[in-house]
Structure 1
Amino acid sequence: MKVLITNDDGINAKGIYVLAKEIEKEHEVIIAAPDNQRSACGHSITLTRPLIIKEVKLEGVESKAYSVDGTPADCVRVAVDKLVDGKVDIVISGINKGVNLGTDVIYSGTVSAAIEAAIYKTPSIAISSEFKDEKENYEIAAKTVLSVLKKLQVKKIKKDVVLNINVPLAKEKDIKGMKICKIGSRTYNNCFIESKDAEGNIVYEIIGTVNDAFDVDTDVDYFKQGYITLTPLHYDLTNFNIIKEAESWI
């Protein structure tokens, strides 16, 4: 398969390096990622200026790699249109440093890059690995993606499918398995810390603590139990449950 790899942590992030090393063992890989950290940028794209693209060399990675001074969604758009010869079979976004569970998918640059691919009728995977107590391990996540790719080659998934995968920080033997599930609810108790900069302007720094809802059979629920979670996503945000009710309102 011809695989486009991107992320939101930047071209020099460890996660994208580990992912590329694993995937290029069995597939043709091209890498296009932001030139620096773009976490939580959501589905923004760059419209007011040209994008600067540079070919870079990732040490130990054989595949071609490019840095883009834009967002993760920009990376997918420009790579599919200009950087890749021929058609991309699948886009993989990650491996993200930290999970993208529940409603965090709305803010995630990692997930947004995967959704951008689906909009242009290319199936995609967003892969994230838990970061906790300054510890990280991307190898299990990379192996998980490679395993999923093998299954997708057989099943031939639809062109607009996004698979959002989250991997716990644990030894491989301690992971209970994989659960296919819906997203849960994840909000934050935000605290704004006020200070002033050198010019006397008021500055607010946001500090948040996670406030997970305890809904069963969701990615938040299963992840806390020690499972890898996989959630199929789609960019159609229509609330089909209330279409008829909305007609009565208007």
Structure 2
Amino acid sequence: MKLLLTNDDGVNAKGIYTLAKELEKNHEVIIAAPSAERSACSHSITMREPLIIKEVNLSGIKSKAYSVSGTPADCVKVALDKLIDGKVDMVLSGINNGTNAGIDVLYSGTVSAAIEAAIYKIPSMAVSSEIKDGEDNYEVAAEYAAELLEKIKDKYLKDDIVWNLNVPMVNKEKIKGIKVCRVGGRTYNNYFEEKVLESGSKSFQLKGEINNSENAETDVYFVKQGYVTLTPLHYDLTNFKILEEVKSLF
């Protein structure tokens, strides 16, 4: 398969390196990722300035790689239009430094890059690894991504599907299995830390803690229990539950 890899942690991040190393064993891989970290940039795109693209060498990676001075969504757009010849079979985004579960899917540049691919009618996968005490699980996440690709390639590589894969910080032999589940209820108890600058102006730094929902059958819950989670996503945000009801008002 011909695969485009991107992320939101930057082209030199360990996560995308690990994913490329695993996938290029059996697939043709092209990398286009932000030149610097663009975490939590959601689905923003660059409109009022040109994108600067440079071919880069990632030591130990045989695949072509490009740095893009833009967002993850920018990387997908410009790669499909200018950097890749022919059809791309799938776009993979990650491996993200931390899970993208619950409300994080709305903030995540990793997930948004995968959604951008679906807008172009290309199936995609966002891959994320739980981080604990500064330790990652990228190798295990890369193996699960490769295994999932083999399982879905014949039947489930539909053009509008975004697969959201989260891997817990657990040794592979201790992972309990894979749970196909819905997005959970993770939210944040946010506040802003205020400081007065020498100029007299004020700065406000976002702080907060995760408020994990314990609702069962969700990605947030199952990752915490030691499962790999897989959630099919779609970019259509229509609330179909009340669509017909609202129509009746008019």
TM-score class normalised by the smaller sequence: over 0.9
Counterpart in the other structure of 1:78? 78
What are the equivalent positions in structure 2 for 1:205-220 lying under 5 Å apart?
205-220=205-220
Amino acid at match of 1:31: I
- Say if 1:153 and 1:51 are closer, same or farther in 2 by CA, change over 3 A: same
Residue of structure 1 in register with 2:10 after alignment? 10
Q: Output the amino acid matched with 1:28.
A: E
Q: Does 1:134 align with 2:134?
A: yes
Equivalent residue number for residue 36 of structure 2: 36
Residue 200 (str. 1) matches residue 200 (str. 2): yes
CA distance in 2 between partners of 1:219 and 1:113 (Å): 20
> How many Å apart are 1:156 and its aligned residue?
4.4
Deviation (angstroms), 1:197: 2.6
The 1-side partners of 2:71 and 2:166 are apart by: 21
Name the SS for the 1:164 alignment partner: strand
Computed over aligned residues only, the root mean square deviation of the Cα atoms, in angstroms, reads 0.9
Q: 1:108 maps to which residue?
A: 108
TM-score between both structures, scaled by the size of structure 2: 0.98
Q: How many residues align?
A: 250
CA contact (8 A) 2:6 2:94 kept: yes
Matched residue of 1:18: which SS? helix
CA apart distance, 1:152 = 2.0
Q: Which amino acid aligns with 2:227?
A: Y
Residue 155 of structure 2 corresponds to residue 155 of structure 1: yes
Structure 1 unaligned regions, length at least 5: none
Bigger shift: residues 58-67 or 128-137: 128-137
Could you tell me which amino acid in structure 2 is paired with residue 100 of structure 1? N
Alpha-carbon displacement from aligned partner over 1:176-224 (angstroms, at most 9, x marks no partner): 0100011011111012111023422100111110112222111111111
**Offset, 1:248:** 3.0
Look up the equivalent residue of 2:83 and give its one-letter code.
L
SS in 2 for 1:102: coil
The answer for unaligned runs of 5 or more in structure 2 is none
- Partner residue in 2 for 1:122: 122
Identical aligned pairs, as a percentage? 62
Structure 1, 238-247 or 8-17: larger mean CA deviation = 238-247
Q: For the residues of structure 2 that align with 1:198 and 1:5, how far apart are their CA atoms? A: 44
SS at match of 2:176: coil
* Offset from partner CA, 1:136-185 (integer Å, 9 cap, x none): 12000000011011112222421110000000011111110100011011
Distance in 2 (alpha carbons) for counterparts of 1:181 and 1:194: 39
CA distance in 1: counterparts of 2:137 and 2:228, whole angstroms = 14
The 2-side partners of 1:211 and 1:12 are apart by 31
Distance 1:197 1:137 in 2: 39
Is residue 65 from structure 1 mapped to residue 59 from structure 2 by the alignment? no
CA distance in 1, matches of 2:216, 2:140: 25
Report the Cα distance in structure 1 between the residues aligned to 2:112 and 2:76, rounded to whole angstroms. 10
Are the equivalent residues in 1 in contact too, given 2:7–2:110 (CA < 8 A)?
yes
CA contact (8 A) 2:7 2:72 kept: yes
The structural deviation recorded for 1:246 is: 1.1
Q: Counterpart of 1:61 in structure 2: which amino acid?
A: I
**TM-score of the superposed pair, with normalisation by structure 1:** 0.98
Question: Residue 116 of structure 1 aligns to a residue in which SS?
Answer: helix
* Deviation sequence 1:90-149 (CA, Å, 0-9, x none): 000000000000111000000000000000000000000011111112000000011011
Structure 2 residue aligned with 1:27: 27
- SS of the aligned residue for 1:126 comes to strand
Kept in 1: contact 2:137–2:168 (CA 8 A): no
Q: Which moved more, 1:128-137 or 1:103-112?
A: 128-137
Cα distance per residue 1:20-65 (max 9 Å; x no partner): 0000000000000000010000000000111000000000000000
